[in-house]
Amino acid sequence: MSATLTVSPAAASTATNPHTARPSFIGLVRGEFLKVSRQLTTWLMLLALAGVVVLPFLIALTVGNLKADIQAEPLADLYRFMGQGLTILRVFSGPVLIIVTARLIGMEYSSGTIRVLLGRGVGRIQLLAAKLLTVFLIAAAILAAGMLLEYALSLFVLRAVTGNLDALKAINGTFWADTRVYVATVAISMAVTILMAAAITVVARSLAGGLSASIAWFPADNIGLVFFILANLLTKSDFWLLVTGDLLGPNLNAMPRALLSAQAPGSATRVLEGPLVPVDGGHTLLVSAIYAAIFLAVAVVLTWRRDVKE
């Protein structure tokens, strides 16, 4: 607090004029990006995600009969590349997005900085919206970069294994349509995941609470399937199986299979278990939409109504 310096901005004309300054949504989003980018773990997680994306392609290179496979049934193998790649993006981007979301929202409560931001005149919903937009943009970037990487890797593997890119000639319109649908299911899954982490962290209003509870969600409802099977066996009631038709995780798992064309081989889409009752594409979409709406409503209403005592 040196006494030699002036208190007011040196050049008032170049500074934001505080008498007209208003909370700025773009500014908020920029601030959120600053916070995310300064977290070393954000970058480490993205690096790890890239590693997980690359890994199956490296393994593919070492599989002996891949060349014969590709030459015999090129379309099936391309479907497998696409399906595997997107499934990996979907499953492994989940924890990354959960951690980024929970941190971005939770740290404001845990460090009390929410009172600094709101004390500047920022609206609560405005702040939440800026945070959600930031994570959605990050998710979109992960999806775009991941797909680009997988496309390049696919070409690389085809080239390396067969010596040419002839397999691509097997691609038909349905393949691209299926790819678009698959990408859409990944995007939906990412969006619901972000909203889930946001809602839970807003409820918990702490970094540790929000992070641990939201990271546990998908393991819980996937592993939960086992308990529903047991309950079904013990009580002989189909009710337990029907309930699984409404679990979020299994529905997200089942969504690609349920929406893709018949041309897509099952091996391209089956990774994690779906519900224990058959569900169609419309059902998986509806269930996801309902969960998303509930998560969003919880996050918005609590953020809006609650006193900030942090």
Of residues 245, 270, 241, 273, the one with CA closest to residue 256:
270
How would you write 2-57 as a 3-class SS string?
Answer: CCCCCCCCCCCCCCCCCCCCCCCHHHHHHHHHHHHHCCHHHHHHHHHHHHHHHHHH
The binder of other proteins chosen from 112, 266, 278, 282 (CB under 8 A): 112
Helix (H, G, I), strand (E, B) or coil at 200: helix
Whole-number minimum distance, CB 251 to other proteins, in Å?
A: 36
The binder of other proteins chosen from 48, 54, 113, 286 (CB under 8 A): 113
Q: State which residue, 156 or 304, has the beta carbon closest to other proteins.
A: 304
Residues 115-154, mask of contacts with other proteins (x by CB under 8 A): xxxxxxxxx-------------------------------
Gap between the Cα atoms of 50 and 38, Å rounded: 19
Considering only residues 2 through 21, tell me which ones interact with other proteins, judged by CB under 8 A: 2-3, 5-12, 14-16, 18-19, 21
Q: How many CB atoms lie within 10 A of CB 238?
A: 11
Residues 250-269, mask of contacts with other proteins (x by CB under 8 A): --------------------
Q: State which residue, 33 or 217, has the beta carbon closest to other proteins.
A: 33
Total binding residues for other proteins by CB under 8 A?
Answer: 47
End-to-end CA distance of the chain: 28
Give helix 25-37 / helix 74-110 axis angle, nearest 10°: 100
One-letter amino acid of 119: G
Whole-number minimum distance, CB 166 to other proteins, in Å?
A: 51
The binder of other proteins chosen from 39, 162, 174, 222 (CB under 8 A): 39
Gap between the Cα atoms of 276 and 247, Å rounded: 10
- Among 23-31, 92-100, 214-222, 251-259, which window interacts with other proteins (CB under 8 A)? 23-31
Q: State which residue, 35 or 270, has the beta carbon closest to other proteins.
A: 35
Can you read off the two tokens belonging to residue 61?
């290179």
Q: How many CB atoms lie within 10 A of CB 150?
A: 21
Give helix 173-204 / helix 74-110 axis angle, nearest 10°: 20
Residues 290-309, mask of contacts with other proteins (x by CB under 8 A): -----------------xxx
Helix (H, G, I), strand (E, B) or coil at 227: helix
174 is a site residue for other proteins (CB under 8 A): no
The binder of other proteins chosen from 107, 158, 161, 225 (CB under 8 A): 107
Q: Which residues bind other proteins (CB under 8 A)?
A: 1-3, 5-12, 14-16, 18-19, 21-24, 26-28, 30-31, 34-35, 38-39, 107, 111-123, 307-310
